Amino acid sequence: MKNTFKAQGSLCAHIFAIAFVAIIGLAITACPEPEPETKTPTLTGTVNISGTTQVGQTLTANTGSLGGNGIITYHWKRGTTDIGTNSSTYVVQTADVGSTITVTVTRSGYSGSVTSSPTAIVTSGSNGSDPTLTGTVSITGSAQVGQTLTVNTNSLGGSGTITYLWKRGSTNIGSNSNTYTVQAADVGSTITVTVTRSGYSSSITSNPIAVITEGPGLAFTLLPNGTAYSVSKGTSTAAIVVIPAVYNEKPVTTIADSGFYNYTNMMSITIPDIRKTARFT
């Protein structure tokens, strides 16, 4: 007679099928334990770049603080552009001027990657001098009060951070921005923008553009003292009139007598600090 007992619980962890054989004896059979699951470790540590960031110099990826062991793969970048080969060193090229360099490494047997901090901006020449900025910039937009002017730098040479300096004549205006909103004080003057680029010497200046009123045609007359202007309607027919504070880099201080007499089309007028009162009717 043979009796069989079935154990309850995990089949592959602790099940034993126990068979008692009355005459032959006792036989015990156990399932083998499962092999533990293998998980790939994440790469840890740091990598940094040493060397001089100048054209022709050699940069080296230092991996002494990289975790683990195994074959290292190197991935060099200029900004976001892939450069170089799978090597622990990289020779700086002319195309790198004005940009920063990074290196990303992986290691066999590990997941993830580690990226260095960016280098200083690459310069040209063994003496550390920067190359001369080349190309052109231009201003787009309507040169009228309240309108926005924008710098077009598509034809500017090199790469790197651009700094902007706007001017009304020879006076600095605006902020370090690629746009500028025309002000009433700009009317009658010209606007330019000068740009510089990190990693490069010198600067590039746009051609000047002349700012006009909303509805051109105002007439300006140089006063006898030669230091200021008076203004009248001239040929303007605009409904909105902006009288500038400056014209030809001299102040507009006076509205001519009856200068806007019978200007029936005018709905509003902006007047700067003018010393005489206008007679409109």
- The CATH number assigned to the domain holding 177 equals 2.60.40.2700
Residue 56 lies in a domain: yes
Using CA atoms of 240, 244, 245, 249 in order, give the dihedral in degrees to the nearest 10: 180
* 176-200 average pLDDT score: 88
Residue 120 lies in a domain: no
Who has greater pLDDT, 267 or 181?
A: 181
pLDDT of residue 94: 81
Residue 173 lies in a domain: yes
- 122 burial (CB, 10 Å; 0-12 / 13-18 / 19+) is buried
Is the pLDDT at 22 greater than 50? The verdict is no
Give the confidence band of 191 by pLDDT, cuts at 50, 70, 90.
very high
Q: In the numeric block, which tokens belong to residue 196?
A: 């510089």
Residues 6+ apart with CB under 8 A from 127: none
Domain count, the chain: 4
Residue 153 belongs to domain spanning: 138-210
Give the confidence band of 268 by pLDDT, cuts at 50, 70, 90.
confident
Residue 16 lies in a domain: yes
Q: Which of 177, 167, 187, 148 is nearest to 271 (CA)?
A: 187
Q: How far is CA 279 from CA 21, 213, 260, 271, in A?
A: 128, 20, 7, 13
Picking from 160, 177, 210, the residue at the C-terminal end of a domain is 210
Who has greater pLDDT, 224 or 16?
A: 224
Is the pLDDT at 275 greater than 80? The verdict is no
Whether 152 and 186 share a structural domain:
yes
pLDDT of residue 50: 95
Whether 205 and 143 share a structural domain:
yes
Give the confidence band of 68 by pLDDT, cuts at 50, 70, 90.
very high
* 117-139 average pLDDT score: 80
Give the confidence band of 165 by pLDDT, cuts at 50, 70, 90.
very high
Residue 275 lies in a domain: no
